[in-house]
Structure 1
């Protein structure tokens, strides 16, 4: 009988507690605590939405409190927007009677989309404050965003509402051709450092035209966008050596998300595609990051010069070259899902003082792969007339970072001279690095180059590196990728060794 009575009392308590739909709260007294006193939203381009940023608000008191109002100081005109504990309030700007329990916290998530005209004209900062309560209990948290002006290039809208398209390898893709007489932008075939550029879709270089990127140019590609250098068209990248870590004289290709969160995320944009028949390309001091394929050469005409170029964080390849002729000096590539450098379907290649590394997080990638065939091509094989690697580093996180896909139906000519190479032991006759002097001379096998910080793509070396002073002076490039003078005998790879900061 007693146990029924206990259950009866418990049921009454449960019923009353479940019927309660509110909490007894007291008014906020202005003693809220915050995870930060200023929320800095990273730089954004005008009218492109930012990432979402977080502010945590704490109630350290023993009382459940009610905050009469949480709002943006600029009210409904603010370019910021918020959610407060999942609530959207009035257009994400104004929230009334926000409950915060004792010893508890709530989350505020903040975003912005602003135009350059909204920013302070002297420093291009757009600011506002989140206000908690008012009068004597008013507390504020500052919001700060740098708005960057840019030249926006994008496909036009057709009369039927569809987007302008161009053809790439027989397929229609969202894109447009750069116009040397554009009524708004002027000559779109000359990119300068006056403003950064943001490209939507594929920007195409018309037949028989040259696109030029001057020293210090910044180009940002939106998702699924890229650059297409068409038949008989030419690309010239004219970057120069920089004197600071800002790479002020480099030409930089990357995605259009400027927040630090996105600085090393692969696959933010597509590729720079060089069409079959494109010609006379020259690339100097280019830094390319976070693409699907960095430079994609599809049987271009004439020799291509690539010097002092860095390519990082590509989903598939850093450089994919199909039957191309490339002379490369001081190239650095790291992090690629398939291969940092892939030369397929033959061609003619010479790479000197290059660092081909691959620390992608799988075991099936390569730093360098060579082949003289291509499935589905006609004919399926094509001669590899030369693939020379001189004073290079070919390394990474896999057991084997060098791959030869040789078809005996076509020529396959290659030679590695004075290179540091990572490759596990094998009886395959193609990989006898110590005894096959026709293909390998002075190979340093499986010794650590001791990069400064490979995870941050800092592949510099110092005097403790196995690559230090192991180069052949016959292949020396006088200046390294940063413009430093090389000593003799030179170090292997793209960097002259230096002392790292303690």
Structure 2
């Protein structure tokens, strides 16, 4: 009996709910539709690479229900744009009900076909909204950019120019004894997980006002500072004669991976001049037993170490800014990690000699300690003979334990002060007018690098500033 009563009560409740449910009454008497935008604009889109999906909202601002008789993508099936209305795709969607004081979404993507143009070109279309007595119009606008696509390519000696961007899928390899030369203003865009491997040589010849760009293939504003969108650049053992001048590497999983480069007596070091590596999900610069000379460079916004120098090597950093305020995830690794060893498969310690010097630089970040020093030697070895690390005339954020154990490595340094960057949230690491890093650099070092990353002289005021940028007061 009780179960019958429950069933009856449920049926009555359902009947009451159904009788209260409002009926659709599409009168169509008021046709004052409104729209979230009058032009739906997209960022530059590479040919044959789809854009992100954007949307516009269509509002019925009055109490009366209406029927939108049709929503038409004017270019039809031949349009570069693709339309979806509340889950229904097509170039013409008919009889769309819209309740009073309600709204619906129209989703749009764009896929641009290749042309012969080198420079960006306009791609446009329109969406018409037909009601009983009116036709409403929303403009669609995008800029297409032709590219040079590269997929699983083994390169012989060649030059990348700035005429069109290069779009890399999967991988590109510079073969041994071959050289990839990259002209000022060239742009290399990498699809998800794509990477560049160099067995030969790479020579990046950017200019201050026309740098070479290594970044992802997502050009929408939201992706501008998003890490982990592509793989990495790796310089392999046996490769040599590399330099990166005025280059930007961003949005990757790792930035620049350097393995046993420049360690032979007859090989030049890898030279990084005015290089900016940022928005990286793991390490920005990670080197193993290599020789690197870096100047006027910025290593910032990395999910792990901005600079990791491992398994020995010889490293020199002059007027560099290493600033890690990564906020996409929790970061426990300091901005700079320096180690001289690894343990092989037989639990045997391998510890090549390590020399690392930082001059007139800034190493700071969000963590309480931004430098980790990790050294080991064999029982019959003296640490001082195998490890020589120095931080001189620099501003550092260092924990008490590192200072206590490795105090001899810090010479004429400013510890745990705020560098007073102009705006960390906008990745602007130039110095504010109140920065303690002004005018305290070593002049002899500054004479070797008389201009900063922006081409500003370091030798025309009281003294050189620390880091990659010289503070210039407004005249």
TM-score (norm 1): 0.85
1:140 aligns with 2:141: no
Structure 2 residue aligned with 1:364, among 329, 332, 335? 332
CA distance 1:34–1:381, change in 2 (3 Å): same
1:87 matched to 2:88: yes
Q: 1:286 to 1:13 in 2, by over 3 A?
A: same
Distance in 1, matches of 2:364 and 2:227, equals 20
* Aligned-residue offset at 1:282: 1.0
The secondary structure found in structure 2 opposite 1:50 is: coil
The answer to whether residue 26 in structure 2 is matched with residue 25 in structure 1 is: yes
Whole-Å separation in 2 of the counterparts to 1:366 and 1:265: 20
Are 2:123 and 1:126 aligned? yes
Which residue does 1:491 correspond to in 2?
Answer: 465
Contact 2:192 2:229 in 1 (8 A): yes
Aligned runs of 1:53-452 on 2, under 5 Å? 53-88=54-89, 92-117=90-115, 124-133=121-130, 136-155=133-152, 176-180=153-157, 189-230=158-199, 233-242=200-209, 249-301=210-262, 302=267, 303-361=269-327, 362-376=330-344, 380-409=349-378, 411-426=386-401, 429-432=404-407, 436=408, 439-452=409-422
CA contact (8 A) 1:28 1:67 kept: no
Question: For the structure 1 residues 209 and 65, does the alpha-carbon distance in structure 2 shift closer, same or farther, using more than 3 Å as the test?
Answer: same
Aligned to 2:39: 38
Q: Is the 8 A contact 1:462 1:468 kept in 2?
A: no
The alignment status of 1:482 with 2:449, answered yes or no, reads: no
Give me the whole-angstrom Cα distance separating, in 2, the residues matched to 1:150 and 1:11.
60
- Give 1:114 shift: 1.5
Q: Which runs of 5+ in 1 are unaligned?
A: 1-5, 156-175, 181-188, 243-248
Q: Are the equivalent residues in 1 in contact too, given 2:151–2:170 (CA < 8 A)?
A: yes
Q: Partners of 2:331 and 2:165 in 1: how far apart? A: 37
Report the alpha carbon displacement of residue 456 of structure 1 after superposing the two structures with TM. Answer: 2.2
* Conserved? CA contact 2:69–2:94, under 8 Å: yes
Aligned residues of 2:30 and 2:62 also touching (Cα < 8 A): no
CA distance in structure 2 between the partners assigned to 1:152 and 1:11 by the alignment: 60
Change (3 A) 1:79 1:7: closer
The answer to whether the 8 A contact 2:119-2:164 is kept is no
SS of the residue corresponding to residue 42 of structure 1 reads coil
Conserved in 2, the CA contact under 8 Å of 1:30 and 1:138?
no
3-state SS, counterpart of residue 201 of structure 1? strand
SS of 1:387 mapped into structure 2: strand
Q: Distance in 1 between matches of 2:374 and 2:76?
A: 64
> Could you say which residue in structure 2 is the equivalent of 1:165?
none
Q: What secondary structure is seen at the aligned counterpart in 1 of 2:405?
A: helix
Aligned-pair Cα RMSD in Å: 2.5
Question: Which runs of 5 or more structure 2 residues have no equivalent in the other structure?
Answer: 1-8
- CA–CA distance in 2 between the matches of 1:10 and 1:373? 74
Q: Which residue of 1 aligns with 2:437?
A: 467
- Give the Cα separation in 2 of the matches to 1:470 and 1:206: 45
Q: CA deviation at 1:104?
A: 0.7
* Contact kept? 1:312, 1:457, Cα under 8 Å: no
User: How far apart, CA to CA, are the structure 2 residues paired with 1:239 and 1:346?
Assistant: 30
Return the offset for 1:118.
11
Residue aligned with 1:102, SS: coil
SS in 1 for 2:51: coil
Equivalent-residue separation in structure 2 for 1:372 and 1:194 (angstroms): 43
Distance 1:377 1:345 in 2: 15
Secondary structure in structure 1 of the residue aligned to 2:124: strand
Deviations 1:377-423 (A, max 9, x none): 78632333310000000100000001101112361111111010002
Deviation at 1:13, TM superposition (A): 4.5
CA shift, 1:229, in A, is: 0.3
Asked whether the 8 Å contact 2:303–2:331 carries over to 1, the reply is: no
Using a 3 Å threshold, how does the CA distance of structure 1 residues 442 and 8 change in structure 2: closer, same or farther? Answer: closer
Show the counterpart of 1:3.
none
Quote the Cα distance in structure 2 between the aligned partners of 1:97 and 1:447: 65
Aligned residues: 450
Query: Residue 455 of structure 1 corresponds to which residue in structure 2?
Result: 425
Kept in 1: contact 2:156–2:178 (CA 8 A): no
Question: In 2, Cα distance between the equivalents of 1:495 and 1:122?
Answer: 32
Give the distance between the partners of 2:420 and 2:334, measured in 1 at CA.
19
Distance 2:100 2:469 in 1: 58
Aligned mates of 1:391, 1:15 — CA distance in 2: 76
